[in-house]
Amino acid sequence: MYKLLLCWRYLRTRYIALASIISVMLGVATMIVVNAVMEGFTNEMQERIHGILSDIVFESQSLDGFPDAEKRMAEIHEIAGDYIAGMSPTVHVPAMLSYSYGSNYVNRQITVIGVDETSYATVSDFGQFLQHPDNRKQLDFQLKDGGYDTIDHQGADPSKAIPRLQMRDAGWKHRKEMANLAPVLRAPKGSTDANPFATKDKATEELEGTDFDPSREQHTGAVLGIGLCAYRTLDGADGFLALPGDDVEISYPTASKPPKVLSAKFTIVDFYESKMSEYDSSFVFVPIRKLQELRGMVDPTTQVANCNAIQVRLKEGVDLNMVRDLLRAEFAPQVYKISTWRDKEGALLAAVQMETAVLNVLLFLIVAVAGFGILAIFFMIVVEKTRDIGILKSLGATGRGIMGIFLGYGLSLGIVGASVGMGLGLLFVRYINEIADLLGRITGKPVFDPSIYYFQKIPTIVEWPTVTAIVIGAMAIAILASILPARRAARLHPVEALRYE
């Protein structure tokens, strides 16, 4: 009982111990916050990458692709059919996007992706990143009469919900700005009042005499990454250089030898917003058959079309590397490149994992420094309390009992510091975006720039096994730091301790 009593007394009265508690607390809190952010960053990045890439990507080494995708998919199914849940052909082509905004002409480098709207959603999570609710259910590359200003998230996971695209007011503001500058405006055929971009009112009347033609036929539909058309205003609101209903021009290389550069017009039918800026500012999706025809990838005699990639979705729980190796063994590597979605972004994912490991080592050193602080404080306490230790031993206390006092004291410091640090770290993680916004307003600079870190918000995931390991590790360091001082106190001879001045 006397050991617990003395531990409690030292903990309450010796304020120098507060420094050790604070150092342990800050170390634990920092490690929890960093691990939560890095885990969230890794998870969100993997979801975004996996959202556009299927489990297995079967590609041609040539940009011109390979003929008869149906035949290749049949061969793939024959090899690994027991593991496959779905397949879809795609065409990926580097291209240039152009559109006018008033008197200005905007050019952007893009990757245009031809997809089969009936099967592509079955092999990737592409649909959940589209803005229009109808396209989330089934993409059809048709311009809708309305619904671009609201997103129905009922039944969706709130943590993955995409914020509604505020385009009704922004749309009319955009139209008026373009009318004042030098507009080249487009609107869907058969528009109704439900369409915020084609309603016949004062804003439309201002456009009389311009190229704005509500009755015109739309071109082939295209889904643009939202970053290709969006910009951030000075007050932090979203603005748009182009909107659904506007026309864009895409310049692309043909599949002829040598390749030629041609262009075609498309009508924006929706925006793609994965919240990963690298994708949102470079991807444009169009119907695969249209892109094949434009590039000359369709045999005029047999009508068999080339494609340069096949996306393969595997069944739940199937080993991706095993299926990849099966396919690699059957298809010539000189012609086909077969990889998992992790292989495609292996360097990026490995860099994130390495960064997490290095940060954990560096942050662990913070807690280790706290351990050396505990060691120094305990040695000082042993020297200061030498006479008290002699009195306790003369009253019958054993060396094991004296050692237990200091080990218990070290454990108490570890428990208090780690517990407070865990609470502080979890609280910081819970409100990390609010704290980042506050710091941004105070400093005048964004703490978390989406253009650098890919995401609009700081992603966090608390892994309780990691939190538990951090807390136990901090308490273990506190106990280990108290062992040497405790052994010194336990070895003191009662007579020498009483004679100590």
- Report the pLDDT averaged over residues 431-457: 76
At 165 the pLDDT is 43
> Cα separation of 355 and 39, whole Å?
11
What residues form DSSP beta bridges with 89?
310
What is the per-residue DSSP string for 56-69? Answer: EEEEESSTT-EE-H
Task: Tell me which residue of 201, 200, 204, 150 sits closest to 178, measured CA to CA.
Answer: 204
Give residue-wise pLDDT tens across range 378-412.
777 776 666 666 666 666 667 677 777 778 777 88
Give residue-wise pLDDT tens across range 170-179.
443 444 444 4
Please name the amino acid found at residue 30: T
At 493 the pLDDT is 61
Q: Would you say 51 and 332 are in contact if contact means Cβ atoms under 8 Å apart? A: no
Helix axes 346-384, 483-491, angle to 10 degrees: 20
Q: Rank 96-100, 241-245, 444-448 by mean pLDDT and report only the highest.
A: 96-100
Contacts of 363 (CB under 8 A, 6+ apart): 27, 30, 31, 34
Residue indicated by tokens 């079967």: 58
Least trusted range by pLDDT, from 37-46, 187-196, 425-434: 187-196
CA distances (Å), 280 to each of 89, 138, 165, 229, 326, in order?
Answer: 22, 20, 14, 10, 33
> pTM, whole model, 2 decimals?
0.66
> Cα separation of 285 and 295, whole Å?
15
At 204 the pLDDT is 41
At 189 the pLDDT is 42
**Does the pLDDT at position 192 exceed 70?**
no
pLDDT band for 240, please (50, 70, 90 cuts): confident
Contacts of 452 (CB under 8 A, 6+ apart): none
**Does the pLDDT at position 255 exceed 70?**
yes
**Does the pLDDT at position 6 exceed 60?**
no
- Report the pLDDT averaged over residues 117-136: 84
Mean pLDDT of the chain: 76
Q: Mark 261-290 as b/e (b = at least 16 C-beta within 10 Å).
A: eeebebbbbbbbbbbbbbbbbbbbbbbbbb
Tokens at residue 373, please?
């602080």
Contacts of 129 (CB under 8 A, 6+ apart): 51, 162, 272, 273, 274
Tokens at residue 108, please?
């952007």
> Cα separation of 290 and 298, whole Å?
10
Q: How far apart are the first and last CA of the chain?
A: 28
pLDDT band for 208, please (50, 70, 90 cuts): very low
What residues form DSSP beta bridges with 305?
298
